[in-house]
Each structure stands twice: as structure tokens, then as C-alpha cells.
Chain A
Amino acid sequence: KQEVTQIPAALSVPEGENLVLNCSFTDSAIYNLQWFRQDPGKGLTSLLLIQSSQREQTSGRLNASLDKSSGRSTLYIAASQPGDSATYLCAVHSGTYKYIFGTGTRLKVLA
């Protein structure tokens, strides 16, 4: 059974810092992995989708990497801003047509 873990559960950093959010999964036979952002009281917004054949994806200040063999993905946020404050969730798709979600990392960027 696929299990997804995100560490840390919460993170507080000063504005301008580069930071890394971690996502671990137990079964390396994945189809793809998706990173989402969730603002308080809002829905989930897709940030990046990495297919199993890819090593990384980039969008603006965000870069997500995937290492299937070690069961890890990281989301790198460059030059963090207060507007980046949100909960970040990773979700793993193992080919059963459903995503398994991690519990999220709650990020606060201080001005």
C-alpha cells in the first residue's frame, strides 16, 4: 500500500530564503507525482506534475525533482515571498487511477 509522507509538517522562514520541501513515498512504482498548493479555506491549485520518466519540472521560482529509486521528491522554492505562504501537498499516482496525498507542509514566509 502506497504511503506518502511530507517533512517538515510546518516551516517558517524569512522572506528571500531558498527552501526545500520534501515528499517521500513507499512504493517506487509510480506513474507520476503532482505538487499542489492550498491556501487557507481554499481548494488545491496544481503547481507541477512530474511523470515517472522525468527527473524534474520547473515553473518560475518553483522546481520539483523526482527520484523514484529512493522514493523521494523535493519542491524547491527560490527567493521565497510572503505570498508563497500556504500548505504544499504532494500526491503520488501509482497507476490505480487515484492519487495518494501526503499530509502537507504548512509554509509561512515572514516579511
Chain B
Amino acid sequence: DAGVIQSPRHEVTEMGQEVTLRCKPISGHDYLFWYRQTMMRGLELLIYFNNNVPIDDSGMPEDRFSAKMPNASFSTLKIQPSEPRDSAVYFCASSPTGFDYGYTFGSGTRLTVV
């Protein structure tokens, strides 16, 4: 298995532009998580899905952020409009039901908003 795949690896965009981050979880994993990592706040859970359904989006910072999971093999995190304070590394992770195997993380997308 190729693991959790995220794209792009790096994204630089101008303030006000729309940004879309992508994630492909490990096949057979029922749970998908989006985290954001910054120096100041560490790793923060933004949203997670179970069987493609959003379960908890309480970590989404504001309405500019949205996430979708149209099928079991693909998820997107969208920021519209982007702001400099959104600059961070965004990680996607997946897990099978039961959590006996814990999380598997993707390599992350480093977002810079200028």
C-alpha cells in the first residue's frame, strides 16, 4: 500500500485566493482526519469523516474552511478566501475502524499564503 497520499506537497498562494488540498486515504480505512500544524498551536484536529460522512467539524476555524469526502478514496480541504494566518502544514491521516492500529499520516501539505 502506498500509504496516505497528499497533494500538493507545497502550495504558495496570494491572500484571497482559493486553495484546495487533497488526500487519498489507505484503502479500507473507514476514518479520515484533517489536522493543521503550526509552531504556536501544534497539531489541531480540523475535521474527521467516518465512511465518507463528516462526524466532527468543531475544529474548523471558520466558514472559510470546508472539507468534503465524495468517496472512500478521496477527500479535499478547501480554504476560500485564504489569509496569511492560514499558513501552516496540513496533514491528512486515516485509520481503520476500531483504532487498534492507530493513525497513519500523509506527508502533509505546506501552505504559505502571502
The interface residues of chain A lying within 8 Å CB-to-CB of B53 are: none
Interface band, chain B: 20 to 34
Q: DSSP majority for the B interface? A: strand
The interface residues of chain B lying within 8 Å CB-to-CB of A31 are: 99
A91: min CB distance to chain B, Å: 7
- In this complex, how many residues of chain A approach chain B with their Cβ under 8 Å: the count is 24
A34 proximal to B (CB < 8 A)? yes
Q: Which residue of A lies closest to B56 (CB)?
A: A98
* Residue from A43, A49, A100 with most neighbouring chain B CB atoms (10 Å): A43
| A interface list, Cβ under 8 A from B | 31-32, 34, 36, 41-46, 49, 51, 89, 91, 93, 96-104
| B interface list, Cβ under 8 A from A | 31, 33, 42-43, 45, 48, 50, 55-56, 91, 93, 99-108, 110
